[in-house]
Amino acid sequence: MLDQINKYSNKLLIDRSVKRSEIAFAALDDTVISSGETFRANLASDIIKRLGCLSLLVASPSLPFAEFLLRRTKPGENRIIPRDTETRTFLHNIPILRKSDFGKDLSGKIAELLSSRKGVIVEGVGIIATGSLTVEQAYINWSSIFHSTFIKYLEDVLSDGFLLPDETDQFDHFRTQWLRPLTAENLTFRTGPLEKKSDILEEISKVGVYTVQSGLVDSFFGNISCRHGELVFISQTAASLDELAGCIDPVPFSNSSTVGITASSELVAHQRIYQSCDCLAILHGHPRFSVIMSMLCEEQPTCEITDCWRYCKKTRYLGSTPVVAGEIGAGGLAKNVPPVISENGRAIVYGHGVFSIGKQNFKEAFQGLVDVENWCRSEYFRRLDQKLGS
């Protein structure tokens, strides 16, 4: 159990999503074991004893966005509802707990909130997330909340500006120090076409690592595939893109095999993209600025469609990249992305992420993902500076 705790603690540090001195895990083995900063480790141990889960992660994010969201909520509001797909599909909403509501039994209060949700934001403590069966699940849920609060906060700032006295300085530090240049330089890719199965598996695994390390996907989301004749080699559902060895399925286009049962939930979308345009590789990530910008629509205030992420029929554009709506899996996404991605090899799904194709190799697909996110990052800050008059 401790080796798993150490593994996912290191992942969070590599992701730069936590403060090194403010992270702790607790896990239930024969007894409760904990690791990390003393206050949070003790809190995690107390909470896990009251819950029917195996693991708990308590950590202060490296960015103050979750805390700011809590402080920006109106009195009486007890949850945050980001609009991105990960929240809508997996988290639903994120409970918040203010210091003024701690009471005498903080652990009990938090356990009560966690009994019906995967995570909670606690003022002055950070994000707390559960893992029902594994330590890995606590990491996934924590990372998902970090991702969702990042998107929600930046979306709110673009809409409402800064509302708290310490936001401006913290945001400037995020913009100038925390964010890093996003580039495909110094990364190596096979030139393609990829003919050998061993080359395909090795390249998919390597590009998956690149995608995670570049911050183009969070947690265990995103997927990647390569076409080889009548097979689609695709990452498995719930597989971490930086640990794909043994987690890549060769699925026949004819669906004549049951091997596809463990494949990514976006298998149908990948198959239809291959059928609609001549490409060898597909990469799907959830880069944050692309997700944010995809949800900003000038027609939204007067549009009669309420669930625009699902029902919007229009194709909008961010730069030269088309933006479409659609549910994940075999729903609208699988129908709406293939017709538009052939325009320039990239497409954004409302609130969800980016699909990018490579005609001959994964370098094209990865570069496409980088280009879209860089454009969206630049456009976000252009609009923010315009709003703030700077």
Q: What is the pLDDT of residues 270-320, one digit of tens each?
A: 999 999 998 999 999 999 999 999 999 887 777 777 787 777 888 999 999
Does residue 316 contact residue 298 with C-beta atoms inside 8 Å? no
pLDDT for 127: 98
pLDDT for 259: 64
Contacts of residue 234, Cβ cutoff 8 Å, sequence gap at least 6: 223, 224, 225, 226, 248, 249, 251, 263, 264, 267, 270
pLDDT for 77: 93
User: Please, where in the chain does CATH 3.40.225.10 lie?
Assistant: 2-154, 197-388
C-alpha span between 390 and 388 (Å, rounded): 6
pLDDT for 219: 61
The CATH H-level superfamily of 197-388 is: Class II aldolase/adducin N-terminal domain (3.40.225.10)
Does residue 110 contact residue 128 with C-beta atoms inside 8 Å? yes
pLDDT for 101: 93
The tokens for 124 are: 């002055």
pLDDT for 344: 93
The full DSSP string for 327-381 is -STTSHHHHHHHHHHTTTSEEEETTTEEEEEESSSHHHHHHHHHHHHHHHHHHHH
pLDDT for 327: 83
| pLDDT less than 70: residues of the chain | 219, 255-260, 330-331, 390
C-alpha span between 144 and 150 (Å, rounded): 10
Q: Are strands 231-235 and 248-252 parallel, antiparallel or unpaired?
A: antiparallel
C-alpha span between 31 and 29 (Å, rounded): 5
- Rounded to whole angstroms, what are the CA distances from 132 to 114, 115, 182? 11, 11, 35
The tokens for 298 are: 């000038």
pLDDT for 132: 93
What CATH number should be reported for the domain whose range is 2-154?
3.40.225.10
